[in-house]
Structure 1
Amino acid sequence: MKELRFSIGEPKSIRSSVWKVWVNKSDIYILTRMLGSDSKVSLHESGQCQWSRNFDSVAKFTNAPIRNRDRHIVKWSLPIVNEGEAKHIFRIIIPRSELREINIEENLKKVRWLPLPRTGHAVQIECYITQPLLSAPHTASSPYNHIASLPLADGRWFVLFIQEIVVTEDKKRMIESAKIDALNILLGNDLTIEGELNAVGFTDIGECKGLIELILQRNNDEE
């Protein structure tokens, strides 16, 4: 397997956006469609990583100039993975509170549907990378449920797990802070919200970077 497309929920019920994870040689990419644009994480063989938004599709629907510096690019480096280790390098957080019915035309044929978290909970997709191995890594001893293992050309493996977590007060504050950041991006590019809009926020918890799926709503004070 070189590619995985997944969503939390069910096609005709509340669900997350469709996320795509794939490898190209020894580079790893994570992409979803948010804020009317592609939001992509690139984890490169060199260890250099970045998160960026491509506003080209947004520009088609607005006359506002989209400046390159407003793409909110974040750059970082992967940790060194020692022999016999696997490192936790990224996570995707999808809270139950941010899921909605999505009524758009979309090809869902190859999407893997993962279970909804309970009310007051969130799904976390935990992403690890291994040292070069002769075969797929053993995952049975992990405390999380294994989703997929994607082989890289250099012999390493990109391994994804899923777990359900409680949305604590600290995590609620993190979600609200991420929403404020996403709204500021919209306001900075003269974009407005009609109803609800899918968005994504960048998180930096400890040494593990991540993306969190969000729902933004129109602020009644702006009307």
Structure 2
Amino acid sequence: MAAREPMAFAKLATRNDVIPPFYITDDYVKARDESGYPVKIEVILGRSPQPGGPIDEFDADFHIGHRMKISRRHAMIYWCHDKQCFELKSICKNAVRVNGQLYPGSPDGNGKPARLDSQSYIEIADGERLFFLLPKVRAAPVEKPRYTYEQLLVSVLEPDRQLTFTEIIAEIQNRYPYYNNDTHGDVMATTWKNSLRTTLGSKTRVFEKAVRTDDAHKKVTVYCPRRPGSD
């Protein structure tokens, strides 16, 4: 069984894990507001120490390789509270690239920052691409309405309002998010629509159809509840 990933604000990874993944967790929160919400998160990317060599207090948080073109403290990823996003900037004389765009070096840390979105890729000293990944947010499941197809149709059809089948579908999707096409695949979308069409055709004592002329002067089939005495 694969190990569960830690809870993190973001993840840095290379293809095929050439460099072990790095997680931006609570350990890198530098300040919080009165409610406990993180307002300052900082992570330093830099050169890996030589095997067996000393690690001093100025060492980077995330080691990205031994190449001498990589500065000991090369770049910083931080949370920009004002913009509500993560950004990256060089904190040395050497440049960085984000999504192919060059951002010049800035030893004073005041250089132009690069916005990081999920799947943004970072290149430092011609090394492996680092991919910046944000957690996937899963939408809360939408409960299926406890209605039969006949009850769904009754809920959207009104005696004084005739609707085409397309308009009926739109009304149901507006009222019941479960039936939005974004929620289900093509097979599911086709199945429930076909079931509605079958119900309209078989429940002739409940629904009636007629033909009207639309704005383009074309004849279209419309539906409404069967009116008393219309048999």
Larger Rg: 2
TM-score by length of 1: 0.25
Higher helix share: 2
Higher strand share: 1
